[in-house]
């Protein structure tokens, strides 16, 4: 169980990650804003509490594996990794630059600590399922996590992974869906309705948990529950607000793939720093 202080510490990290996301996007002049901001709480919880990992030894054989299927939200992963100590936070400002290790979609061979190269939506869960199956064959004890978007459930390959994992009862696999209800050209339920998402996963023999994706304690508790499930994989449907932390852009699908300009970034950072200051004062 997380103590109140541990929760606030993770929340503080999430706000620091959000600030870094804005800084790196404005430096790049391109990239995705809404999804990374919305997943900051979950990535802070993953890198600062959930995952078994070692930033100083990113290829540690016993580490948990984290697959990022929706590779376009990689700014949140880069920011979380930097704050966790994988590389200097200043390097985040090289996002999408020629020669940078931090490309617009993660590339496994460029940056230690990444498990896969991702970009084409719909591939990640199948990759993670295959990896989890192999880990079980080799009697490995690490866990496999896969973050994926709700919109990429439009891709058939996602459902191949769902069926494979359920059929093979991969209890060492936990999927985390960013259920933010937006995709590049509108709201998911208008573009290609997904609901009832819980029932669909349950039909393929998954254990389903639903959480507020901005409630650190709820998310960490759900991860703990997933570890206790013996006979099937678990999916955590995390309900998030795209653009979380910046009121002006929250739930606006137009910010799916739009970066802030310098003036917008200045305004957004001021709002985020106010939030961080409030959490800091509560933590003292």
Mean pLDDT for the stretch of residues 114-135: 95
Mean pLDDT for the stretch of residues 144-170: 97
Computed over every residue of the chain, the mean pLDDT equals: 96
pLDDT confidence of residue 281: 77
Q: With 70 as the cut, is the pLDDT of residue 219 above it?
A: yes
Mean pLDDT for the stretch of residues 251-272: 96
Q: With 80 as the cut, is the pLDDT of residue 196 above it?
A: yes
Closest by CA to 187, choosing from 242, 246, 147, is 242
Q: What is the DSSP letter of 90?
A: G
Which CATH number does the domain 4-283 belong to among 3.40.50.970, 3.40.1780.10, 3.40.718.10, 3.20.20.80? 3.40.50.970
Q: With 80 as the cut, is the pLDDT of residue 2 above it?
A: yes
C-alpha distances out from residue 207 to 34, 47, 270, Å: 28, 23, 40
Cα 218 from Cα 226, distance rounded (Å): 12
Closest by CA to 179, choosing from 239, 226, 249, is 239
- Residue-wise pLDDT for 226-249, tens only, equals 999 999 999 999 999 999 999 999
- Residue-wise pLDDT for 82-109, tens only, equals 999 999 999 999 999 999 999 999 999 9
Closest by CA to 202, choosing from 233, 171, 245, is 233
The three-state secondary structure class of 132 is helix
Split at pLDDT 50, 70, 90, the class of 284 is: low
Split at pLDDT 50, 70, 90, the class of 278 is: confident
CA-based Rg of the chain, rounded to a whole angstrom?
18
Cα 56 from Cα 263, distance rounded (Å): 37
Rounded to 5°, angle at Cα 108 from 260 and 91? 45
Mean pLDDT for the stretch of residues 115-132: 94
Cα 8 from Cα 282, distance rounded (Å): 8
Q: With 90 as the cut, is the pLDDT of residue 279 above it?
A: no
Split at pLDDT 50, 70, 90, the class of 110 is: very high
Q: How many CB atoms lie within 10 A of CB 266?
A: 12
The three-state secondary structure class of 23 is helix
Supply 72's token pair: 């376009």
Cα 228 from Cα 211, distance rounded (Å): 17
Q: What percent of the chain has pLDDT over 90?
A: 95
- List the chain domain ranges: 4-283
pTM of the predicted model as reported, rounded to 2 decimal places: 0.96
Mean pLDDT for the stretch of residues 121-147: 97
Q: With 80 as the cut, is the pLDDT of residue 60 above it?
A: yes
Mean pLDDT for the stretch of residues 61-66: 98
Mean pLDDT for the stretch of residues 40-62: 98
Q: How many CB atoms lie within 10 A of CB 233?
A: 30
Mean pLDDT for the stretch of residues 144-173: 97
Closest by CA to 68, choosing from 109, 31, 118, 18, is 118
Mean pLDDT for the stretch of residues 175-182: 97
Q: With 90 as the cut, is the pLDDT of residue 283 above it?
A: no
Split at pLDDT 50, 70, 90, the class of 43 is: very high
Closest by CA to 30, choosing from 124, 100, 131, is 100
């Amino acid at each position: 169980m997380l103590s109140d202080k541990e929760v606030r510490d993770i929340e503080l990290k999430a706000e620091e990650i959000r600030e870094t996301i804005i800084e790196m996007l404005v430096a790049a002049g391109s990239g995705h804003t809404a999804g990374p901001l919305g997943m900051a709480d979950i990535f802070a919880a993953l890198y600062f509490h959930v995952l078994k990992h070692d930033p100083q030894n990113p290829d540690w054989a016993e580490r948990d594996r984290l697959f990022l299927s929706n590779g376009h939200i990689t700014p949140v992963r880069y920011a979380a990794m930097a704050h966790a100590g994988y590389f200097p936070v200043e390097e985040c400002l090289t996002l999408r630059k020629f020669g940078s290790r931090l490309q617009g979609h993660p590339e496994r061979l460029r940056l230690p600590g990444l498990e896969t190269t991702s970009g084409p939506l719909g591939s990640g869960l199948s990759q993670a399922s295959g990896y989890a199956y192999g880990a079980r064959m080799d009697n490995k004890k690490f866990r496999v996590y896969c973050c994926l978007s709700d919109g990429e459930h439009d891709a058939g390959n996602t459902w191949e992974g769902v069926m494979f994992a359920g059929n093979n009862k991969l209890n060492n696999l936990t999927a985390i869906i960013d259920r933010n209800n937006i995709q590049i050209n509108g709201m998911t339920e208008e573009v290609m309705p997904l609901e009832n998402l819980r029932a669909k996963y349950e039909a393929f023999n998954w254990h389903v948990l639903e959480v507020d994706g901005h409630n650190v304690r709820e998310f960490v508790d759900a991860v703990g529950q997933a570890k206790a499930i013996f006979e099937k994989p678990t999916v955590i449907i995390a309900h998030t607000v795209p653009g979380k932390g910046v009121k002006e852009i929250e739930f606006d699908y137009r910010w799916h793939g739009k970066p802030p300009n310098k003036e917008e970034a200045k305004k957004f950072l001021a709002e985020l720093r106010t939030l961080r200051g409030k959490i800091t004062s509560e933590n003292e």
